[in-house]
Structure 1
Amino acid sequence: MSDNPQEPREYDAVLGGENPPPVDGAVLGGIEGVKRRFTSKVVKVRIAALRDALNYGDAGLDLVIEALQDESTLVKDAALELLIHREELEAQLALLLRFQPVNAKGYNERGLVRQKFGDLQGAIYDFCEATYRDENNLTFIYNRGFCRQELGDLDRAITDYCQVIELDDLYTDAYLNRGLCLQHSECIQQAITDFSKVIYIDNQCTTAYLSLGICLQSLGNIQEAFINFCKVIELDDTCTDAYLNRGLCLQFLGNYEWAVYDYLYAIIYQPNSLIAYHNSGFCWHKLGEYQQAIKDYSEAMNIDHSYPHSYIGRAQVNTDLGNYKEAIEDYELIIEGNFEPSLKALAYTFCGVIKSATGNNQEAIMDFNQAIAINPNYIDVYINRAAIKTNLGDFIGAIADYSRIILLNPQYLEMYYYYRGNCHLFRKDYINAIQDFTQAIEINPNYLDAYYNRGCSNFSRKDYLAAINDFSSAIKIDPQYIRAYDAKANAHVELGEITTAEFYFQKVKELKELEG
């Protein structure tokens, strides 16, 4: 040991010094001393210098970035390991632009950076390269699957997750993400199996309970879904999605009061939750709390002006309140806004219904015409327009609408044959009326009114025997049907069968007396 205290010691950082400091030793000289150590030929010394460099701000970070181009693979790996955890933009860009991987680990690390910057295709390339060099590395395969999932390449993502699970059947994230892919692909039962497996391995995984609940809910298993959402809330009482979905379960079960509480909690933890406000408005409407419903629908509209269902919901509340002007104003916002044509057609239809109910039939027809112009196959509009035309005496127009309805083959087809038959009957077109009533009866052999009106059509054609048969069929279906007895009696009168007619007139009298 030197007797001169000013003489440098063996491991001090000194310009011109030859001996490296110990790897874990304290170093004097700041960043210049670190740079000096980095020039050492000893790899361990250079790696230690890189670790210390990050204590010296931008200058130290620059040194680590430069090390990505080092001739030593060990030094490059060390620089990579240090930079991968740095948040600075310069560090992340350096990994993308200046680092050239030479092994599986390097490709994986660069893939993670590319993934972070949204270059998912580039990340997949790197994870493929990493997997090529280390084909059974679970992390590399999983990372590739995750990026494929983010890109919507669900089939390949599922393949990657399956490979991970084959190598490690307790890899919960692989089960979870495979389940999410399957759920998105509408393979609900398989997704349920995966989420259940996650819960079996880790019974604290809130995402698995939530996703399982959503799957069960989509299958109509409301009670089981409800239990899973309760479990999520038990584990995380701030989970907005759990409150929203549990509220939906309660809403589906008709328990609107408790559903409102769940939506309230969702709003507490996510004050701008559009769905929470909208669904809360729906429940308040069902509970008869109209003003609160309007308030919540309005709040939903303030959050997102492009969400049309809240306009419709508020309009329906105002309709129930008799506030037709306000209801129409909401529908007109949809008509005038940048919404899907199908929603505009719906808004025109509701406007037409309101105008019809308030006696503005011509304006109602104009609205229905607009709806049909948007959607020529909109059955409900034809039904409403045909009813108005019938009431206005426009039987030809009504017949055209009912013909279109029949062509579209709706549910309760017999009813529209019957209505069209009535229009023909009003026009005294008895042949076509009889044909339509016959069609209705063929579809529904117990259609009481169709028998009666066909009987009336036959009576008007002076086919009294056919009329009597129809009235008899109506009476067979409903032995208390007074009008059928009366019409049948009149048919017998026309045939000169007075005794028989008197019998049925007497039956009419008895039935009326029974009615009081």
Structure 2
Amino acid sequence: MSRLLPLLILCLGIPVTLAAQPPNPNDPFAQQKMQADQAQQQGDHAKSIELTSQILQQKPDDHVAYYLRASARVESGREKGNTQSIREGIGDAREAIRYSQNQNVNYYLPYLYGMMNLAVMENKKSHAETALNVANQILARPNLTAEERANFHYQRGMIYLPLNKPQDAAKDFSETIKLQPNHFAALLALPDAYALAGNNEMALASFNDVVQKQPNSPIVYNNRAMFYQQQGKLQEAVNDFSRAIQIDPQYHHAITNRGFAYLEGGKPQVAEADLTQSLSIAPNQPFVLGMRGEARLLQGKIDQAIADQKQAVQLDPNNAALHSDLGFSYYFKQNYPEALAQFNLAAQQAPEQMKVLNPWIYMAMVRSNQKPAADAKFQSILSQKPESRDSVDTILAFLLGGITEADLLKSIDLKDPKRAKAQTCEAHYFIGEKALLAGDSAKATQNFQQTLNTNLKNLSAYRGAQYALKKF
């Protein structure tokens, strides 16, 4: 199983502060609405929701309050991964549109943004398709101002992304920039769309253009750095992350991302320092705690790694990847019952994604004196035809005694060199594990060393071999 952590990608929501309508001097709630808007701009979504809810208790048909609360609820839901909050925001946007008698086109923005985020978070293209239809209807209106048209091109571009249409997205972002050359959200989104479309040359040119237009923005350098990292240009990535941090030393996203770049570049000690700095600025980051646990694990600091990973799962108990990471650390520490418990939680939360854990679950059960139960759990693998098994099933068939060591090594897909190397790493690790169970420590050591020879440090099998041989 790959241990690479995803990049921390930054995105912007509703692109600019939008005044729903000019302040009405006769509006008794004007001051509260201004405070709610300011709170939203400052990222205090809870305060914005509280203020607008107070207004709506007294004036249930106030469409401006509905609009402001819609924006706050959608942004809050996106940040927290809370789809219910996003749905409530979408509902508020609908109410704003209804009570305004469809007179303010800006009220559609939190609706579209909310639907796009639901499409991503729930992996349902139907949400994006619904939003796309609405965006098309809005853009067909002849009386939009240049600013309104720019914002709806931007939102439609964002909607195209979960529909896997990055080229269409790039066209909309480009149109936004034509209408508003300094539209910051579109400037950031355009190079990402080019990259998703596989046009790396245009992506880099677009990133460079943003850097020229916004040379004092840490987000700009952070995002170009992430592009460099995805291209395998780690030094260029580190340079840009460092520039972002130089501009804003409290910008913990860039500090985290630089830590990941160092981790990917084989510098876990330096990575740990960056991740610790990020956590000192924003302590409750389960993703970052898990990543620091990874950095510590690479250095042989297994107890500290487990402490980080336990805190991460406490903060985000429904994250299958964090549970699996904690399970691996327990496994390497030879606490097999705890490893099994974490693997099972991960498998329950994400059955398809976590199928890769099955060989580890089998071994954790065997090492927890549950071999009959382990054999029974995975016995159906042996009835499969060899050609229908994937690499995970093939490893299980070997552990169950259904195929030989030679069969396992012969099953490696040599047509794909990268895949073959990963399968070789994992095959030798589990050959070593099975040899240990049989009491053949010399054979186990030989195979663990072959695992390390692949140098695939992002794989759990590699990590397991490190701990088996105590080589860090």
TM, length-normalised to structure 1: 0.52
Instruction: Supply the AA of the counterpart residue of 1:149.
Output: Y
1 or 2 for the larger relative contact order (CA 8 Å, sep ≥6)? Answer: 2
Tell me, yes or no, if structure 1 residue 280 matches structure 2 residue 224: yes
Q: What does residue 452 of structure 1 align with?
A: 398
2:122 aligned with 1:192:
no
Counterpart of 1:198, as a letter, is R
Pair 1:191–1:307, CA change in 2 (3 A): farther
Query: What is the TM-score when the length of structure 2 is the normalising length?
Result: 0.56
Question: Could you tell which deviates more after superposition, 417-426 or 345-354?
Answer: 417-426
Query: Hey, what does 2:98 align to over in structure 1?
Result: 159
Shift of the 281–391 alpha-carbon distance from structure 1 to 2, 3 Å rule, reads same
**How far did 1:412 drift?**
4.9
Contact preservation (8 Å) 1:386, 1:397? yes
Does residue 230 in structure 1 map to residue 171 in structure 2? no
Deviations 1:345-390 (A, max 9, x none): 2222212222322333343333333333434444334433433444
CA contact (8 A) 2:167 2:194 kept: no
Letter in 2 for 1:449: I
Per-residue deviation, 1:281? 1.2
1:431-458 Cα offsets, whole Å, 9 max, x none, are: 1231233266689973233233323xxx
Letter in 1 for 2:150: T
**Whole-angstrom CA distance in 2 between matches of 1:354 and 1:476:** 31
CA distance in 1, matches of 2:237, 2:384: 43
Contact 1:244/1:276, CA 8 A, preserved across alignment: yes
Q: Partner letter of residue 221 of structure 2?
A: Y
Mapping 1:357-372, distance limit 5 Å: 357-372=298-313
Correspondence for 2:233: 289
- Work out which of the residue numbers 78, 98, 111 in structure 1 matches 2:24: 111
Match of 1:177 among 89, 102, 106: 106
Cα pair distance change 1:263/1:323, threshold 3 Å: same
On the 8 A contact 2:173/2:187 being kept in 1, the answer is yes
User: 1-side partners of 2:23 and 2:295: how far apart?
Assistant: 62
Check conservation: 2:269, 2:295, Cα contact below 8 A.
Answer: no
Among 289, 292, 310, the alignment partner of 1:351 is: 292
Q: Residue 223 of structure 1: CA displacement? A: 1.2
Preserved CA contact (<8 Å) 2:320 2:347: no
Cα deviation, residue 279, structure 1: 0.8
Partner Cα distance (1:326, 1:439) in 2:
46
Counterpart amino acid of residue 371 in structure 2: Y
Task: Summarize the Cα distance change of 1:113–1:326 in structure 2 as closer, same or farther, 3 Å threshold.
Answer: farther
Q: Which amino acid aligns with 2:396?
A: A
> What is the rounded CA distance, in whole Å, between the counterparts of 1:400 and 1:154 in structure 2?
43
Residues 198 and 274 (structure 1), Cα distance of their counterparts in 2 relative to 1, 3 Å cut: farther
Contact preservation (8 Å) 1:256, 1:284: no
Q: Structure 2 CA distance, aligned partners of 1:282 and 1:109? A: 40
1:409 offset after TM fit, Å? Answer: 4.9
- CA distance, structure 2, for counterparts of residue 441 and residue 335 of structure 1: 47
Superposed CA RMSD? 4.2
2:162 pairs with 1:244 = no
**What per-residue deviation string (whole Å, max 9, x for no partner) do you get for residues 264-298 of structure 1?**
33343334434322211111222343333223223
Aligned to 2:67: 149
Q: How many residues align?
A: 325
Query: Distance between the aligned counterparts of 1:109 and 1:316, measured in 2?
Result: 45
Q: 1:311-331: CA deviations, max 9, x gaps?
A: 221111112333322211111
Question: 1:213 aligned to 2:151?
Answer: no
Distance 2:292 2:320 in 1: 16
Using the alignment, how far apart are the partners of 1:213 and 1:282 within structure 2?
Answer: 21
Structure 2 residue aligned with 1:86:
none
Structure 2 distance, partners of 1:322, 1:476, is 30
Q: Distance in 1 between matches of 2:66 and 2:374?
A: 63
User: Secondary structure of 1:237's partner?
Assistant: coil
C-alpha separation in 1, matches of 2:348 and 2:384: 15
Segments of structure 2 that go 5 or more residues without pairing to the other structure are 1-20, 35-61, 71-91, 116-129, 413-426, 428-472
Q: 1:336 to 1:236 in 2, by over 3 A?
A: closer
What is the DSSP-based 3-state SS (H/G/I as helix, E as strand, rest coil) of the residue aligned with 1:220?
coil
Residue 259 of structure 1: how far off its partner (Å): 2.4
Q: How far, CA to CA, are the matches of 2:381 and 2:68 in structure 1?
A: 54
| Equivalent position of 1:7 in the other structure | none
Is 1:311 the counterpart of 2:255 in the alignment?
yes
Shift of residue 225, structure 1, vs aligned partner: 1.7
Q: What letter matches 1:234 in structure 2?
A: K
Identity %: 17
Q: Structure 1 CA distance, aligned partners of 2:287 and 2:206? A: 30
Q: Distance in 1 between matches of 2:155 and 2:134?
A: 9
Q: Which amino acid aligns with 1:158?
A: I
Q: How far, CA to CA, are the matches of 1:381 and 1:448 in structure 2?
A: 26
Q: Identify the residue that residue 102 of structure 1 maps to in structure 2.
A: none
Question: What is residue 258 of structure 1 aligned with on the other side?
Answer: 202
The amino acid that maps onto 2:67 is: Q
- Structure showing greater radius of gyration is 1
- The equivalent position to 2:364 in structure 1, one of 423, 430, 439, is 423
Contact kept? 1:214, 1:225, Cα under 8 Å: yes
8 A Cα contact 1:182 1:190, kept in partner: no
Gap change, CA 1:389 and 1:265, over 3 Å in 2:
same
Q: CA deviation at 1:158?
A: 0.9
Residues 420 and 159 of structure 1, relative CA distance in 2, 3 Å threshold: closer
Deviates more, 1:220-229 or 1:298-307: 298-307
Pick one of 332, 336, 343 that aligns with 2:276.
332
Contact 1:315 1:330 in 2 (8 A): yes
DSSP-derived class of the 2:282 partner: coil
Q: Tell me which amino acid in the other structure corresponds to 2:134.
A: A
In structure 2, relative to structure 1, the CA distance for the partners of 1:476 and 1:252 (3 Å cut) is: closer
Q: Taking structure 1 as reference, are residues 323 and 402 closer, same or farther at Cα in structure 2, changes over 3 Å only? A: closer
Per-residue deviation at 1:230? 2.0
The whole-number CA distance in structure 1 between the counterparts of 2:188 and 2:179 is: 16
Matches within 5 A, 1:75-86: none
Change (3 A) 1:412 1:277: closer
Structure 1 alignment gaps of length 5 or more: 1-107, 122-143, 165-173, 456-469, 484-516
Distance change (3 Å), C-alpha of 1:333 and 1:145: same
From 356, 370, 379, the counterpart of 2:320 = 379
Amino acid at match of 2:160: L
